[in-house]
Amino acid sequence: MAMRGGDGRGSTGTQLRALLAVAGVWLALLPALAHASVEISSIAGAPSSGFTPNARLVASKSLTTDTSVKRAVNKDDCEAIFAAKKPIVRITWSFIADNVITIPTSYGVKIAPPGKSCSATSMTESGNDGCSVLISDKATNPLSALGLTIDIDLRDLFAGVVCSNETEVEARVYFVIGGTGTTAGQQFSGATLNITLDTKPPAVPTIDSVAAGAKNLTVAWTLSDAANTPYARVYWSKVAFPASAPTTATSKSDKLTATTYQITELENGTTYYVAVTAIDANENESKAAAVREGVPIEIQDFWQYYQASGGTEEGGYYGCSAAPASGGPSPWTGLLLLGAASLLVSLRRRRSGGRGVGIGAFMLPLAVLAGGALAPAPAAADSPRTSSLDLRLGFYAPDIDSEFVSTNGQQPYAKAFTDTSLQKSIGFEQILLDGFGDLSIGGSVGWWSIEGKGRKLDGTKSQDKTTLTVVPVTVNLGLRLTVLAFRYGFPLVPYARGGLAYAFWWAKDGNDEVSTWIGVDNKVRTAEGGIAGLHGTIGVRLLLDTFEPRAARGFDLESGVNHSYLFAEYQRLSLNNFGDSRTMDLSDSVLMFGLAFDL
């Protein structure tokens, strides 16, 4: 208590004076530095100039020392600068002292055109070396200066530049900071803003091919300097244009990062002239190496080939339009029944307090396959078993060509599509009765799409792609024999299901548009529709709980998954509008594999 003395301020004042004395001695021993960091906040057209600089110059806020921020002026920018009446930009900048030892008291700004330079640590210039002093010894506040501005005429910054010359040089703006240190004399430091003048075009690319398609041309090219030339542009026109001036063409693409481009909406039988240019990172554009010619031709995509072969399908949705047959289910029947089944699943699980399916449900098969021995019986379920979820995969190939077996033997599907494609499907079932076996109602939604090549009129394949997509929807009743698995631990569960099926389908041409065909009757037939039919499935599930009962019990408690299965099934889809001969046949027999979960 005695150490405070009086009101306590005497001792504090003594201590403060002692600290200042020590600090003064320490400061006196340090060198005088006037170093400061310079930050560019913005570069924009000066308010009175009416000039707007390109985004290549107006880069983001950064320190002048940040070399990752590139500010550049390309050939087009250069020409715009010298064509403008007042190409003046305003630079907003700030400097902050890097230490409190030296107090910045003044600043200066200088510019040096390309090929010239200034002293980075002097307010003035003694020699006539092309450096221009814009500001010298401008007084500022102690310690920092924020939001300073300087207007620069870009014609001065790029004085002596000829925009048509192919060059890549630096113009510079110097910021000089002055301050008084702990020793006598003025100390200076500097920071430089570099602006690249790049008027050098990239190397010209080489056109590899111009392939003709139906109302399109596909252009492929090779960039001569791909590492430094990230973009290309395609030009085309009905009228010839010189390679030295591709911009005179009537049409062009955007900047492209790929090395191929399809020109669409052309006229078959018409000659088009095509060129490709390269574009560098500063958007300088090369000339074209050459101008090539291409003529779009007639191509038959799958749908057109099918129609030309005598196919009877006219498109349209069975059951709700001018379809090949009358009566039968609506095309929305499958979706409505499937939605109702899914709703029943949700409502019943909510009433029973069941949990949703967690990510653990999908990890269970991996855990089972990783280890564990066959157990005499599965783990007891802790939550009610009300529904089932299936995830299926299988190779599907519609039996479209069967329509022509008894007529002309054409194979429009086989000739258009030579590869195979997986059908992906998800199924839901609501368990209605359980005991010796399960009786359920449910449905599924699938997706299948295949890509092939269109056909030239001489019968050979073209470069045009053609696609066919089928989305099968089913509703069904199902029966599973569960007694052997649940009572006696035998891990196989046979099952069968069947019901109505409906397939939404569409075919596209080489321009990625739904295909059309105009018949001899001048009727337009559009390649999309819906086809109804039946489906039936037999299969067997392998009960994974049998191999790892503890893991199964844990997943049930955590995620509400009672049982998990691997399965294989044989599915017969009969999709031909119940045998109508005027329908494209989407039927097939598919071997499906997948995962299933009782919920």
Using an 8 Å Cβ cutoff, are 539 and 495 in contact?
Answer: yes
445-460: average pLDDT: 94
Q: Which residues contact 153 (CB under 8 A, 6 or more apart)?
A: 86, 87, 88
581-597: average pLDDT: 96
584/413 Cα distance (integer angstroms): 11
360-364: average pLDDT: 38
Q: Please, what's the largest Cα pairwise distance for the chain?
A: 120
Nearest Cα to 188, choosing from 128, 137, 126?
A: 137
What does each C-alpha distance from 108 to 95, 252, 303, 317, 551 come to in angstroms? 12, 47, 74, 78, 74
pLDDT band at residue 489 using 50, 70 and 90 as cut-offs: confident
46/52 Cα distance (integer angstroms): 8
What pLDDT is attached to residue 245? 94
237/270 Cα distance (integer angstroms): 11
Name the least confident of 356-370, 406-420, 434-448, 460-474: 356-370
Given a cut of 50, whether residue 380 has pLDDT beyond it is: no
Q: Which residues contact 216 (CB under 8 A, 6 or more apart)?
A: 262, 263, 264, 265, 266, 296, 464, 510, 511
144-150: average pLDDT: 83
pLDDT band at residue 61 using 50, 70 and 90 as cut-offs: confident
What pLDDT is attached to residue 327? 37
Structure tokens at 293: 């010619």
Q: At what angle do helices 549-559 and 360-370 cross, to 10 degrees?
A: 170
Please tell me which residue, 261 or 330, carries the higher pLDDT value. 261
Q: How far, rounded to the nearest angstrom, does the alpha carbon of residue 375 sit from its chain's CA centroid? A: 48
Give the total residue count for the chain.
599
What pLDDT is attached to residue 356? 42
What pLDDT is attached to residue 520? 84
Please tell me which residue, 587 or 554, carries the higher pLDDT value. 587
CB atoms within 10 A of CB 130: 16
In 3-state terms, what secondary structure has residue 9? helix
170-189: average pLDDT: 77
Given a cut of 70, whether residue 194 has pLDDT beyond it is: yes
331-343: average pLDDT: 46
pLDDT band at residue 189 using 50, 70 and 90 as cut-offs: confident
Q: Give residue-wise pLDDT tens across range 84-103.
A: 999 999 999 988 766 655 56
What pLDDT is attached to residue 330? 44
126-153: average pLDDT: 82
Given a cut of 70, whether residue 537 has pLDDT beyond it is: yes
Burial of 160 (0-12, 13-18, 19+ CB in 10 A): exposed
pLDDT band at residue 374 using 50, 70 and 90 as cut-offs: very low
**DSSP string over 279-299:** E-TT--B---S--EEE----E
What pLDDT is attached to residue 341? 46
What pLDDT is attached to residue 364? 38
469-497: average pLDDT: 94
Q: Record the pTM.
A: 0.70
450-456: average pLDDT: 95
What pLDDT is attached to residue 179? 76
What pLDDT is attached to residue 379? 42
Using an 8 Å Cβ cutoff, are 116 and 85 in contact?
Answer: no
pLDDT band at residue 226 using 50, 70 and 90 as cut-offs: confident
- Ordered domains of the chain (ranges, CATH): 31-198 (no CATH), 206-297 (2.60.40.10), 305-352+394-548+567-598 (no CATH)
pLDDT band at residue 296 using 50, 70 and 90 as cut-offs: very high
Name the range with the highest mean pLDDT among 10-19, 60-69, 309-318: 309-318
Percent of the chain at pLDDT > 90 equals 61
pLDDT band at residue 300 using 50, 70 and 90 as cut-offs: very high
Using an 8 Å Cβ cutoff, are 592 and 335 in contact?
Answer: no
137-153: average pLDDT: 82
pLDDT band at residue 531 using 50, 70 and 90 as cut-offs: very high
Given a cut of 90, whether residue 504 has pLDDT beyond it is: yes
What pLDDT is attached to residue 97? 67
Q: Give residue-wise pLDDT tens across range 270-282.
A: 999 999 999 999 9
284/229 Cα distance (integer angstroms): 10
In 3-state terms, what secondary structure has residue 396? coil
CB atoms within 10 A of CB 317: 19
Given a cut of 70, whether residue 250 has pLDDT beyond it is: yes
pLDDT band at residue 367 using 50, 70 and 90 as cut-offs: very low
Using an 8 Å Cβ cutoff, are 561 and 357 in contact?
Answer: yes
- Residue located via tokens 């040096």: 112
Structure tokens at 118: 């200034």
- Residue located via tokens 């269109």: 454
Nearest Cα to 390, choosing from 469, 476, 468, 450?
A: 476
Using an 8 Å Cβ cutoff, are 473 and 443 in contact?
Answer: yes
Nearest Cα to 429, choosing from 558, 537, 319?
A: 537
What pLDDT is attached to residue 101? 52
- Residue located via tokens 């010209």: 204
What pLDDT is attached to residue 382? 52
- Amino acid code (one letter) for 540: V
Q: Give residue-wise pLDDT tens across range 235-249.
A: 999 999 999 999 999
HEC sequence for 172-228: EEEEEEEEECCCCCEEEEEEEEEEEEECCCCCCCEEEEEEEECCEEEEEEECCCCCC
What pLDDT is attached to residue 103? 67
Backbone φ and ψ of 516, nearest 5°:
-135, 160
462-479: average pLDDT: 96
Using an 8 Å Cβ cutoff, are 446 and 425 in contact?
Answer: yes
Sign of the torsion angle spanned by Cα atoms 169, 161, 118, 146: negative
- Amino acid code (one letter) for 251: S
Name the least confident of 183-192, 408-417, 441-450: 183-192
| Mean pLDDT over the full length of the chain | 83
178/120 Cα distance (integer angstroms): 11
Sign of the torsion angle spanned by Cα atoms 468, 474, 479, 481: positive
420-424: average pLDDT: 96
